[in-house]
Structure formats: C-alpha cells, structure tokens
Amino acid sequence: MQIELRVEQYPLIACDMLAFPIFEDETDNSTALEPLDRITNGVLKAVLSSGEFRPELHKSLKIYRPTGIQARYLLLVGAGKKAAFEPSKLREIAGVAVRNARSSSCKTVAFMCRGVHPAGIAARAATEGALYADYESDFYKTTENEQKGLESFLLLFEEEKPLEEIREGIRRGNIVGDATNFARTLGNEPSNILTPAEFAERALARGTRAGLSVQIIERKEIEKLGMNALLAVSRGSEEPPKLIILRMDNAGRKKADSEPLWALVGKGVTFDSGGISIKPSEKMEEMKGDMSGGAAVLATMIALAQLPSPRNVMGLIPAVENLPSGKATKPGDVVRSHLGKTIEIINTDAEGRLILADAMAYARTLGASRIIDVATLTGACIVALGQVNAGMMGTDQETMDRLRSNCRITGEGLWQLPLDDEYRKAIRSDIADMKNVGDRRAGAITAAKFLQEFAEETPWVHLDIAGTDLDTEGRPFACKGATGYGVRTLVQLLE
C-alpha cells in the first residue's frame, strides 16, 4: 500500500472512499464540520442529529455516493471525545478506515487527519495505523481472499501544514509500520515453519537488507561460551539452538565512547511445549508465538537501522525450541550459566528466563551498559494485567518512566510492577545459587527477580509481554493474531 500526502481540496479527490473523523463533542453546529455538511447538502447534520450515528471511538458509518464529493463512499469515523484524543487514537481510527475500505472492496482511501498536532506526528500515526490495519494473518489460505489489500492511502489535512514535516512523518511511519507487520508475521508463523534456524535465516536476510550486521552463533560456539542455561532448554529438541546478534553499525558515524550501549534482548522460543514439565494441550498452539519478544527485538533493530537511530544499540535473540524427549532437561537438573551462577531447574516450562539469563549476561560480556529484555515470560502476567498492559519491572527507573510516558503516542500499554528484594527468597535453592521458579505467588515478579541476577548492576528493564503479544479477538482496526507489541515502544525510546 502506497501512502501519500494530498494537498487538493477533499471534495475533488477521486478515490473509492473519503474517511472523515468526527468527534463526539462536535455533533451539533460545529464550525469545523460546516464545510463538509454544506458540500454534501446537509447529510452530515442529518445523520448526526437523528442519532443514526454517534461518533464514539472506533464506530463508523458508511454513506454511499453522497452529493458534492468525488469519492464513492463517505465514511464517518467516530473519534470519541476531543479532550481524550491523542496520536494513539488517530492511529487506531486510520486503521478503522482501512478495515472498512477493505471490506467494501475499495482500493483507494483518502483520510482526513484531524485532532493531532503537530502534523508530522499525525501523519506518522495515521501511516502506522493504515499499514497495521491493511495486514492479514491468513497467509496460508489457498482459496482466494475476497478482501485484498488497499492500493493507496491518501493523507489530507484541513489547513495548510508544513509539507516536509508531514513527508518525514510518513517516511518514519512506513518504516515502523512495516517493521511491526514483520514482527506480526513472525509471531503468526507456525513452529514447523519458523524453527530457530528459519528465524535466524530471516534475521539474516531482512537485517542485512536494512543495513544491520547480523551474526548467528551456532551450537558449538554456544557450548564454548558456557551458555548451559540456554542449552538446557534446547536439549530436548532436534532443532539446533541459534543465538542471533544484530548490530547497528550501518550509519558509519562515530559515536562517542561515553554514550551507553543499549542491548535489546528478546525471548525467541519458537515453540514452548513446556518440555518435561509439559503444558496441558488446550491452547498449546498459542505457544508458537513464544518468540514474539525476539520478533519485536529484530523488527525494532530493522526500524532503527532504517530511520536511522543516532544511538548505540545491539539486539540479541536466543532462539530455541522447548520439547520433551529422551535427551530433554529434567526437573531437578542443575546447570552452570554463562555468568557462572548455577541454576536448579525445578520446572522446564520456566524456560524463557533460562535463555534470557545467558543472553543478558552475554550482552554484558559484549559491553552493554543498559539492557531491555522483552519476553512472553509468564502466565502470571496475563492474570495480573490481561491483554491490555504489558508488565514492566527493572532497575532503570529513568528508562521505565520514559517508556510509560511514551504510551500516549505508541498506544502500547505498560504498567510497572514492584521488584522488592523480599521477592528474591522465592527462588532460593537448597543446592544451587537459585532455582528457576518460585511458588504460585507473584509469578511475574519472581521471574523478573531471576533475570535481575543476570543483569546485576547494569541498569535493566524487563517487559513481560505475555498477553499483549497476541490478540485473540480482533479489533475494529486489526485482524486477530500476533500484535507486534513492543516495536513501537522500543523504537520510540531509541530513535
């Protein structure tokens, strides 16, 4: 889908659909709506005053061939209350327009960008939302899909705006929107396709194309590095583990030594059966998405390389498959991690923290001075926060505050959970430095407490995206499936 700025008068634009956001508090006698109402011969006021259309957020009404405009359809898009409007909402309603257009077999949509300033931010949010909504997850259907993607999405503004700012917003929105959809595709891929080796292949292909340097560390080397926590998870599988390392040295700019080196570490479990501590079969298929943290890290690195970002960032993705077999790790086994700390593996289903432990410690070996890990880590996080907010914990309060305040722009919910030292005792082991699970209580926090052992004094943030990584119902602006959660949040922080 091509996204373009149009500066013509909107009644004159020949397109299949003109989408026009309407706020709940401008339904009567609004001067802002006056021109559209006049042009369409009073259709707007008629539907609003009759109560036929209430412009609540995400609601919409399609009008066929109204007089006065060239477009085949006029789509009124509910934008909710004006005071509560923000870039994340504009992103969503641009998506509502695209989903509506797709289901009406439209090819070209013009969208009036209203309610967000400055224009560059608005253009970027609308671009991201349009790309997000134009994505479909049914790529394994062999029957022809009726609803094809759009050809073009035209951005309109009511007043004259700085064109360069808008074009830059569209450029950035395209990069972030494409990266987010790439992360969604990885999350939606079944595990027979997206094995650790295939994950590494795609990282190599897409990463290199974006200008990243990509290194794949193979099993032999992983063994030499003493990453026995990571190896313990992949032991039961025929698929060899891969440690994917992404570096952003494309920009060719010399960065000051005093600048921090950020490490993004993403959980890349391409399938999590639980291992010997096997999961119940109901919903086990959702565990093909247990690499969503890794997908978010890869997509973020690709976006940062393209923008480009002025920061020093590297990405690490330990990619493994967690299966039971005669070779698999058993409850009670003890391993020595890359950092040297020993772990008693009580539950083989708490595997994410094991691979992250080694990858985080290795990031520090490589010189990382700040760490952010992203992982579908615990069911307990879903119990606490559902699919609305990801759990955030860590020792880098400054970064956590920035991430939280970015939510209004990114639209990705985040909520900080505590990390008191007292939670550490839940993972005390009788025979090793720690065990890999606590009891039922505060499961999202005790998992983070385990990770903290490997971040040690390096400022660190942990994002538990179990829940937010997957949309099981579908939204008015998106299809069901993997959400690409984390890409916008991480890009916003590091661009």
List active site positions.
279, 353
396 lines the binding site for Zn ion (CB under 5 A): no
Residue 272 or 396 with smaller CB distance to Zn ion: 272
Q: In the window 241-280, what residues touch ligand BES (CB under 6 A)?
A: 272
Give the shortest CB-346-to-Zn ion separation in angstroms.
13
What interhelical angle do 487-494 and 292-306 show, nearest 10?
A: 40
List the structure tokens of 177.
């929107």
Angle (nearest 5°) at CA 184 between 464 and 459: 30
Cα 368 to Cα 29, 364, 378: the distances in Å are 58, 5, 25
**Quick check: bond before 418 cis, omega within 30?**
no
Task: Name the DSSP class of 159.
Answer: S
The mark string for 441-480 relative to ligand BES (x by CB under 6 A, - otherwise) is --x----------------------x--------------
**Chain position carrying tokens 């565990």:** 287
- What residues between 289 and 328 interact with Zn ion by CB under 5 A? 290
Cα distances from 440 to residues 28, 381, 382, 423, 424, in angstroms, run: 54, 12, 14, 12, 14
Instruction: Work out whether 350 is an interface residue with ligand BES (CB under 6 A).
Output: yes
Q: Six-digit token pair at 71?
A: 């477009």
* Distance (Å) of CA 156 to CA 127, 194, 322: 12, 40, 49
| Element containing residue 202 per DSSP (H, E) | helix 196-210
Task: Name the token pair of 69.
Answer: 């405009």
Binding mask 259-278 for Zn ion (x = CB under 5 A): ----------x--x------
Span near ligand BES by CB under 6 A; candidates 124-132, 328-336, 349-357, 417-425: 349-357
* Piece in contact with ligand BES (CB under 6 A), picked from 137-145, 229-237, 242-250, 345-353: 345-353
Q: Which is nearer to ligand BES, 113 or 381 (by Cβ)?
A: 381
Q: Which of residues 184-223 bind ligand BES (CB under 6 A)?
A: none
**Choice from 302, 437, 451, 490 touching ligand BES (CB under 6 A):** 437
Tell the smallest beta-carbon distance from residue 119 to ligand BES (Å): 39
Buried b (16+ CB within 10 A) or exposed e, 269-305: bbbbbbbbbebeeeeeeebbbbbbbbbbbbbbbbbbb
To 5 degrees, how large is the angle CA 15–CA 18–CA 19? 145
Among 189, 349, 412, 469, contact with Zn ion (rule: CB under 5 A): 349
Which residues have a Cβ under 8 Å from the Cβ of 418 and sit 6 or more positions away? 393, 445
Taking CB under 6 A as the binding criterion, the range among 105-113, 146-154, 377-385, 408-416 that sits at the site for ligand BES is 377-385
Residues 89-148 that bind Zn ion (CB under 5 A): none
Work out which of 16, 134, 198, 351 binds ligand BES, going by CB under 6 A.
351
Residue 236 engages ligand BES in binding (rule: CB under 6 A):
no
Minimal distance in Å, beta carbon 339 to ligand BES? 21
**How many positions of this chain bind ligand BES (CB under 6 A)?**
16
Kindly state whether residue 352 participates in binding Zn ion, applying the rule CB under 5 A: yes
Joined tokens for residue 406: 């970015």
Binding-residue total with Zn ion (CB under 5 A): 6
Q: How many whole angstroms separate alpha carbon 387 and alpha carbon 402?
A: 21
Q: Check residue 331 for interaction with ligand BES (CB under 6 A).
A: no
Residue 196 within binding range of Zn ion, rule CB under 5 A: no
- Smallest distance from the beta carbon of 468 to ligand BES, in angstroms? 10
Instruction: Give the footprint of ligand BES on this chain (CB under 6 A).
Output: 272, 290, 347, 349-352, 376-380, 382, 437, 443, 466
Instruction: Give the footprint of Zn ion on this chain (CB under 5 A).
Output: 269, 272, 290, 349, 351-352
